Amino acid sequence: MATKKITNVGGNDETPQKRTFVPTAEAKAQAGKFRMYGILLWVLAVVAEIGAMVILFKKDPEIALSTGARAVLIIILLIDLILLVAGSMFWKKANRFDPASKQNVLGFFFQNQLGVVVAVIAFLPVVILAFIKKEYLVGAIAALFMVGGGAASADYNAPSKEQYAQQSNYVKELMGFDHVYWTKSGTKYHLYDDCQYLKSDRTTEIFEGGTVADAYSHNSKIKPDINSLCSACEKRAAKEKGWTDEQMQQIKDKTLNAVQNADQTQVEDTIENQ
């Protein structure tokens, strides 16, 4: 760590240890496409909400809605919910292709949890209006959809540029290159295509190969943290390198910390420069 003075985070991609993750042009394009679909679906969710609000606006608070009108309102809210959750799925998928950086805490939170914000936008106004217009059942359903839709829109395994860079670096330390394998429904990525754990899935599933970032963008079941690296593959690679368990742990810590330290160095530099 001390041998290299870090002057520019992510400025030199040629160094064996990348300080930050940079998505490929292809991944960037995929992310852009998915973000566009996500936003489009979210806009349509808000359009559905406006539709429901128009019906409620016209209602006299003292006269109850007919059963038919109430059913129409609930169906519109259901469409609102489906559009919201579908949009959030695309949004979360996009973040797997092009993750946010943890360096910007607020930016990281909003990029990953934007779906929750949209859930509030897509339901809170209609909840309030329904209660003003004394349409309590509709209001309660809309509130329920807001909470459920928000929970479904949150990203509980938010990916970050730092995690991608750390793990890519560690895989390179172990194998010399960033190439891993995974299955469609597996929750781990592997270093060897003949790994025993991969083999057991092989009969029923097609497995894929690519970079660590590819594994995360193609299989959302793999949590973006170092524990997703198959420990059997990790041990096998270390053994082939001639490392003891202790050496492996040291190299692992050093590699993972290098990216974190890079962040720190940049933050410190920024403070010093001010």
Q: Which residues bind Zn ion (CB under 5 A)?
A: 190, 195, 197, 230, 232-233
- Strand (E) or helix (H) holding 52: helix 25-58
- How many Å is the Cα radius of gyration of the chain? 24
Q: From the centroid of its chain, how far is CA 168? A: 17
On the 0-12 / 13-18 / 19+ scale of CB atoms within 10 A, 172 is middle
Tell the smallest beta-carbon distance from residue 56 to Zn ion (Å). 55
Rounded to whole angstroms, what are the CA distances from 154 to 84, 90, 91, 112? Answer: 11, 12, 10, 7
- State the DSSP string of 152-201: HHS-TT--BHHHHHHHHHHHHHHHSS--EEEESS-S-BBS-TT-HHHHHH
Per DSSP, the three-state class of 207 is strand
Return phi, psi of residue 181, to 5°: -125, 150
Rank residues 7 and 187 by Cβ distance to Zn ion and give the closer one: 187
Q: Which is nearer to Zn ion, 103 or 211 (CB)?
A: 211
| Residue closer to Zn ion, measured from CB, 193 or 269 | 193
Please report how close the Cβ of residue 198 comes to Zn ion at its closest, in angstroms.
Answer: 6
Report the candidate in 183, 157, 180, 159 with the shortest Cα–Cα distance to residue 168: 180
Nearer to Zn ion (CB atom), residue 53 or residue 191:
191
Write down the least CB distance from residue 259 to Zn ion, Å.
23
Q: Which is nearer to Zn ion, 86 or 232 (CB)?
A: 232
Instruction: Write down the least CB distance from residue 195 to Zn ion, Å.
Output: 3
> In terms of CB distance, is 96 or 190 closer to Zn ion?
190
Nearer to Zn ion, 129 or 229 (CB): 229
Cβ at position 174, least distance to Zn ion in Å? 12
Query: Rounded to the nearest whole angstrom, what is the least distance from the CB of residue 45 to Zn ion in the complex?
Result: 41
In the complex, minimum distance from the CB of residue 151 to Zn ion, in angstroms, rounded to a whole number: 33
| Residue 1 one-letter amino acid | M
Task: Look at residues 98, 257, 96, 113 and name the one whose alpha carbon lies nearest to residue 182.
Answer: 96
What's the rounded Cα separation, in Å, for the pair 189 and 241?
19
